[in-house]
Amino acid sequence: MTSNNAAPPHDGAGPAFETDYAALFRRSASPDYYAHPDWFRNLAATCLTASENAVLFTARDADGAAVAALPARRHAASDIFPGARAIGSLTNFYACNFTIAARPDADLAAACRQIVDAMTADGHRPDILRLDTLPREAPAFDALVATIRARGWPLRTYFHFGNWFETVAGLGYDDYLARRPSRLRNTIARKRRQLEKTHDVDFEICRSPAEVAAAMAGYETIYAESWKPAEPFPAFTPGLARSAAANGALRLGICRLDGVPAAAQIWLTYGGRATIFKLADAARHRRRSLGTVLTAEMMRHALEVDQVREVDFGRGDDAYKRDWLSQRRERWGILACNPRSLRGLAAAGRHLLLPALRDRLRRRPR
């Protein structure tokens, strides 16, 4: 691999995405739907503002073949410093994982050098680089940090969110449930009995493209009746449901009471991993714990039908997740500022220097 010539970026989720990134994804055999080309295509089509565009940064070997790539977004006006240009991860607030897609034989350090050089090249040099949703333990994290620092850009790494998960390979639902706290087991059984005493309870898990339209109509009816705020990018979830169904990854569960949709959950099941993605309960049923009962049904399906090796509950350290899952990992971010631009220097003062000074003052003995 050559590391001295930065590969030019490719705007949009167009030809380079269809060839370079899709080929790398297939060769990397990633089990993560958050790295699937269709995840990025849908995000780019539904979640970018008028001042943003998707871009793919690629590292190539001496023959010109892509060996690694990083999907990103270019901001004409950064949201963390007025007037600054920025390049960031092609992620949103639903993404649970993000990293460089690379061939198994790739020299990751050299690939990171090419990609960082492409991101900071003179023709479109940003004031700010911000990569987030990164697994801290992945080799690419340290390689990116080392490369950005070697280019003279000041940076800080920061905790982004926790992700609760559990390895469940070979477990049946009863075995899994036996691992859970007794209060959760009792809640599932009690709430299920209460529902069945007063209602005709029906569960459906939709997964095929033919089922998407009707299932999403039920989901959106429930979401509109829930206490959750309106989606900032309303086309994203329907687009995801369609693409996930086409790739065999959609599990859209609906709980009906007396034939009326009352709770819904969207899970993504791909490559042996099941991720809870979205959930909603109709507000009128909030005290019935429909979410708990439906989660149990979705978990049963994941373990006994899909036979996944891992289940995770997406972003955040919500207390209830610890009852369902016992392991935790973290996603981190990298924020770097261009020392050769005025806005980059100003952003470094605000977002790098001031936080460092505050941390030092807090640690001073009194």
pLDDT per residue rounded down to tens, the chain (366 residues): 333 344 556 655 566 677 899 999 988 766 789 999 999 999 999 999 988 999 999 999 999 999 999 999 998 888 888 889 999 999 998 899 999 999 999 999 999 999 999 998 866 689 999 999 999 999 999 999 999 999 999 999 999 999 999 999 999 999 999 999 999 999 999 999 999 999 999 999 999 999 999 999 999 999 999 988 889 999 999 999 999 999 999 999 999 999 999 999 999 999 999 999 999 998 888 778 899 999 999 999 999 999 999 999 999 999 999 999 999 999 999 999 999 999 999 999 999 988 777 777 677 665
SS3 (DSSP) at 216: helix
- Containing 206, the helix (H) or strand (E) segment is strand 201-206
37/357 Cα distance (integer angstroms): 41
Query: Contact at 8 Å (CB) between 273 and 310?
Result: yes
Nearest to 128 by CA among 352, 347, 316, 281: 347
User: What is the model's pTM?
Assistant: 0.91
71/69 Cα distance (integer angstroms): 7
What domains sit in the chain, N to C, each tagged with a CATH number? 10-163+330-363 (3.40.630), 169-308 (3.40.630.30)
Q: Let me know how long the chain is.
A: 366
What is the amino acid identity at position 304? Answer: E
